[in-house]
Amino acid sequence: GAGVSQSPSNKVTEKGKDVELRCDPISGHTALYWYRQSLGQGLEFLIYFQGNSAPDKSGLPSDRFSAERTGGSVSTLTIQRTQQEDSAVYLCASSTGQGRNYGYTFGSGTRLTVV
């Protein structure tokens, strides 16, 4: 596609339920990133994929969070047993990962509300 696509755009879930957030990167972009943006906060790094592997999972806040990427393309971020503090906008970005000066292309995010 022309840009990074994220779905759903908005998600309301009950506390304790599991949710899956999807990211479709730009075709050919080998690097994919997930960030979390809480209200009034900057972007908090969660996880980074190069191809299908995740060399950096250091930002995942707890073992309730996991992510996978298949076929070097679509990625899914899963949050199990959601808590109210998980409410945030989850942003995905992709890049070529090449060259020294690349920037990210971001999606429009998924706004997750845990009630």
Partner 1 sequence: AQTVTQSQPEMSVQEAETVTLSCTYDTSESDYYLFWYKQPPSRQMILVIRQEAYKQQNATENRFSVNFQKAAKSFSLKISDSQLGDAAMYFCAYRTPNTGNQFYFGTGTSLTVIP
Question: Which residues of the shown chain bind partner 1 in the complex (CB under 8 A)?
Answer: 31, 33, 35, 40-43, 45, 48, 50, 55-56, 59, 89, 91, 93, 95, 97, 100-101, 103-104, 106-109, 111
Tokens 């971020």 locate to 77
Judged by beta carbon, residue 35 or residue 65, the one nearer partner 1 is: 35
| Nearest-approach distance from CB 8 to partner 1, in angstroms | 13
| Nearest-approach distance from CB 101 to partner 1, in angstroms | 6
Judged by beta carbon, residue 79 or residue 89, the one nearer partner 1 is: 89
Contact in structure between 87 and 114 (CB atoms under 8 Å):
yes
> What b/e string do you get for 9-41 counting C-beta neighbours within 10 Å, with b at 16 or more?
eebebeeeeebebebbbbeebbbbbbbbeeeee
